[in-house]
């Protein structure tokens, strides 16, 4: 694995605000890890297109770093949602296929919490 980025694996949940009754995003937990960011492979890309999902990036991290988080934050690229996971080149690594998040409120909560 060629490490080329530092990222945060995040869990964000929605909860109801007691005062207003509106649903708000709450950052539940996060962990900082390193990984290899690359483009999605052609076979994976076209399989996702057939399922009507557009994948933007692919990320390889150490298998023991991932605990079922749902989002990835990259300082240089922004916020991504983890669509699925796949085996890496060896059992030590895990490949995450990512889709860019378009929700401005979610982006605001994550970037505000992490700086």
Mean per-residue pLDDT pooled into runs of 10, the chain (115 residues): 89 89 89 94 91 93 94 91 92 94 91 83
What is the pLDDT, as a whole number, of residue 2? 84
How much helix, strand and coil, in percent to the nearest 5, is found in the chain? Answer: 20, 50, 30
Distance from C-alpha of 92 to C-alpha of 77, rounded to nearest angstrom: 25
For residue 4, give the 3-state DSSP assignment.
Answer: coil
What is the pLDDT, as a whole number, of residue 73? 94
What is the pLDDT, as a whole number, of residue 34? 95
What is the pLDDT, as a whole number, of residue 97? 95
Distance from C-alpha of 7 to C-alpha of 80, rounded to nearest angstrom: 11
Q: Which CATH class is domain 5-114?
A: mainly beta
Distance from C-alpha of 59 to C-alpha of 110, rounded to nearest angstrom: 19
Q: How many Å separate Cα 6 from the centre of its chain?
A: 12
pTM (predicted TM-score) = 0.88
């Amino acid at each position: 694995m060629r490490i080329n980025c530092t990222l945060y694996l995040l869990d964000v949940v929605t909860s109801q605000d007691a005062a207003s009754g509106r649903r708000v995003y709450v950052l539940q937990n996060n962990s900082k890890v390193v990984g290899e960011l690359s483009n999605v492979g052609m076979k994976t890309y076209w399989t996702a297109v057939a399922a009507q999902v557009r994948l933007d990036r692919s990320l390889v991290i150490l298998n023991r770093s991932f605990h079922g988080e749902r989002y990835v934050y990259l300082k240089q690229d922004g916020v991504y949602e983890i669509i699925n996971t796949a085996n890496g080149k060896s059992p030590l690594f895990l490949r995450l296929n990512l889709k860019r998040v378009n929700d401005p409120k979610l982006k605001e909560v994550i970037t505000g919490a992490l700086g």
